[in-house]
Chains A and B, each alone.
Chain A
């Protein structure tokens, strides 16, 4: 089965993000241990695993918030330009390498309005357009045009995220689900090629969760952005991801299509928390259950 997925990958192989032998140590704790995976261009890659497996730590290494103890993270842009992310600062990763992210515990600018949140995300474009503030301060038309365009970009994402009605309200005033969508819209306003989402469906109700699926699909389809997704909500993961990587105690235990991963005994064991020798039993049980349910795959 593993070889099967490998061949399908190599046929369309165009990895946008390549993580090789990534390790991250916190004092005595090896949070990530020799972890490698690839995210393909234009795909949604999900990173799953039990609590404390090290998923967020992987994100923090990829986006430069942690400096990995070991390993190499390569980002290959559309034009073929390559960046070694472990050597860049966090803000350079977003600005130059075009990798944007959201946070597990939402980090919005709660005292700024929804619209302003999206304008802050276009900081670098606007900075250039305003001649690093100097020309903008003189009121040159070039900056005015760029400012109007930035509002249009914001409006586009507000419509996509269904937030247009709340555009002029403070971000801190939005309900939880809307804040999650706003954080995604804000990350998209940086014009990323890879979007890293840390548990975007956490705390959403089923209806919001469905809307989120729609949003992510349309992001991939319309803007061609590849998505790297951490998620506990299996309905989201299995529904939208093209590729799933499973992490447990900082190590990769499975890697492949959603169907492949779903049936991987190691994954099942990890999620149910059983010893290795009991895995066979668990699989049998699951097959029984699925059999009675009428076989969903």
Chain B
């Protein structure tokens, strides 16, 4: 604060000195804190004796991180943030708004050219990782989060068991294709319908509950579905899961089975590779996700979508306007569940294998976290959150250089949840309403003005 009155160079000198001081201080504090925690380690050896290991190197890293981090924060990051805040007050530049306005179009085009680009950059086989691990993985979560967004973001119903509908969709495809030999294109809509149907069945008794109670019961429902899948072994094969799920075909015209006469690679006389199937799946999930977005955007402008948002804002007022809140909630629940079902059947076709392990509560929590991080109700925000969260954790697998710092036993994937949680805390402190906190009005008289997040509510039921 007092720096403002100083001339710039003396302020700069002051700042560095202060940063140094605070950095050293932080280092000392870290040393005191961690000397016993990190510097010393007790382990049992083979003879069951306690041994004291000294880890001064690791301790030094901790202290150095604290000291340097503090120094950088005070000297550079904080002034930079202040400067940015000041800049934000100035009117936004025109070219930035062009990018923002056309963000979704640019993103869709980028996604369409993503697989060919990856093939060009990394070759057919090398593109597998980028298309499958990053592209498909992220898009599945984008679609799931968009589906859940209808329930949580629009209608304001806190659903902690969304993964149940994902499971219904996945097992619908897995089992019906195994027992009845139906193709993916018949089972995809069927899986959605079945999931929607389960959404209704769950919805009827549950939607009379509100807030925390609703959350707990949906959580229980998610667990029930998982336990049924584990224990109904005659049909679902329990924890072993269902394997050998048939692949999807390009509308029955080209198949991706190696032995099939109409094999895709053979038809175009390309070298055999599983990459084509993955690229096909990428476009499939992209189409499904875009369908979810399109339907959500359309529904928001329909009376039913407005009723959902009104429900989130004030349920009693809704009833005073003649809106049947039970059916309104049910439609939100079952339409959200339907997209979960679509995504589930896609998941089954992509993995070729489903087991109850894929549908644990953690999945529901991650999907919900993406919705909350993205900004409830905002499709763009949610997509960004999915990229950051899912892409970020996938990226961890790539960070082999971390092994060089933390030793060869260090597996970054294991720290996935830790980093996920940390990132959530940071984002929520920095943007409490998620990446996109404002909402787009669904109708306007003169001009479309975004509604600031401080007016919208999260819903209580």
Closest chain-B Cβ to A102's Cβ sits at a distance in Å of 8
8 Å CB contacts to A: which residues of B80-126? none
Other-chain residue from A65, A113, A155, A186 in contact with B451 (beta carbon distance below 8 A): A113
Residues of B within 8 A of A171 (CB): 455
Closest chain-A Cβ to B208's Cβ sits at a distance in Å of 13
Whether a CB of chain B sits under 8 angstroms from the CB of A178 is: no
Other-chain residue from B312, B320, B444 in contact with A63 (beta carbon distance below 8 A): B320
Closest chain-A Cβ to B328's Cβ sits at a distance in Å of 9
Closest chain-A Cβ to B236's Cβ sits at a distance in Å of 34
8 Å CB contacts to B: which residues of A102-156? 102-103, 107-113, 115-116, 119-124, 126-127, 130, 133, 136-137, 151, 154-155
Q: Is the CB of A111 within 8 A of B322?
A: no
A136 and B299 alpha carbons, distance in the complex (Å): 9
Q: Is the CB of A170 within 8 A of B455?
A: yes
Interface size on B, residues (CB 8 A): 39
Residues of B within 8 A of A110 (CB): 313-314, 455-457
Q: Is the CB of A115 within 8 A of B443?
A: yes
Q: Is the CB of B302 within 8 A of A130?
A: yes
Residues of A within 8 A of B317 (CB): 103, 107-109
Residues of A within 8 A of B451 (CB): 111-113, 170
Residues of B within 8 A of A65 (CB): 316, 319-320
Residues of B within 8 A of A259 (CB): none
Other-chain residue from B313, B322, B441, B446 in contact with A124 (beta carbon distance below 8 A): B322
Stretch at the interface among A89-97, A228-236, A248-256: A89-97
Residues of B within 8 A of A136 (CB): 302-303
Of B295, B322, B324, B451, most A-chain CB atoms within 10 Å: B322
A155 and B324 alpha carbons, distance in the complex (Å): 25
Closest chain-A Cβ to B438's Cβ sits at a distance in Å of 10
8 Å CB contacts to A: which residues of B295-325? 295, 298-299, 302-304, 306-307, 309-310, 312-314, 316-325
Q: Is the CB of A123 within 8 A of B455?
A: no
How many A-B contacts if CB must be within 8 Å? 142
Q: Is the CB of A111 within 8 A of B313?
A: yes
What DSSP secondary structure best describes chain A's contact surface? helix
Interface size on A, residues (CB 8 A): 48
A101 and B322 alpha carbons, distance in the complex (Å): 10
A261 and B449 alpha carbons, distance in the complex (Å): 49
Whether a CB of chain B sits under 8 angstroms from the CB of A34 is: no
Q: Is the CB of A167 within 8 A of B445?
A: yes
Other-chain residue from B306, B439, B445, B449 in contact with A123 (beta carbon distance below 8 A): B306
Other-chain residue from A123, A164, A186 in contact with B303 (beta carbon distance below 8 A): A123
Q: Is the CB of A115 within 8 A of B445?
A: yes
Identify the closest chain A residue to B452 (Cβ): A170
In order of increasing CB-CB distance, the 9 nearest A-B pairs are A111-B456, A94-B322, A95-B322, A109-B313, A126-B303, A172-B455, A107-B317, A167-B445, A170-B455
* A contact set with B: CB distance below 8 Å: 63, 65, 90-95, 100-103, 107-113, 115-116, 119-124, 126-127, 130, 133, 136-137, 151, 154-155, 158, 164, 167-173, 186-187, 190
